[in-house]
Amino acid sequence: MKQTIKETLTIAEYAHRIGAVACSLITGGSKNNWLSFTDASDLKVGSLPTGGKSQNADTVGQFNVLVFADDSAVATANTYVVTDTLSFA
């Protein structure tokens, strides 16, 4: 089932929202790459998986964050725009 995108954030907006002051791109693992966020004390405050089609991105600045209706999130180097929404509530 496809997830509904609630909002798209820049990396800076997402970092601010979770109280992070730095973000690192982690690569080379046995699974997909991910972003790791740290606070001013260098403590990890969050991480995000990177999308499957964004594995070749090599700088943090290339990423945006997609936040879905269930508040899960993923980092993507692709640009997505919600062009239309129809509510059934």
pLDDT digits (tens, 9 = 90+) for 36-86: 999 999 999 999 999 888 888 888 988 999 999 999 999 998 776 667 777
**Nearest-angstrom CA–CA distance, 51 and 32:** 8
Structural domains of the chain, count: 1
85 domain-assigned: no
84 domain-assigned: no
How does DSSP assign 37-48, residue by residue? Answer: EE-TTS-EEEEE
Is the pTM here over 0.85, yes or no?
no
88 domain-assigned: no
44 domain-assigned: yes
81 domain-assigned: no
Which pairing describes strands 44-49 and 34-38: parallel, antiparallel, or unpaired? antiparallel
89 domain-assigned: no
65 and 59 Cβ atoms separated by less than 8 Å: no
20 domain-assigned: yes
Provide the domain limits for residue 15.
5-76
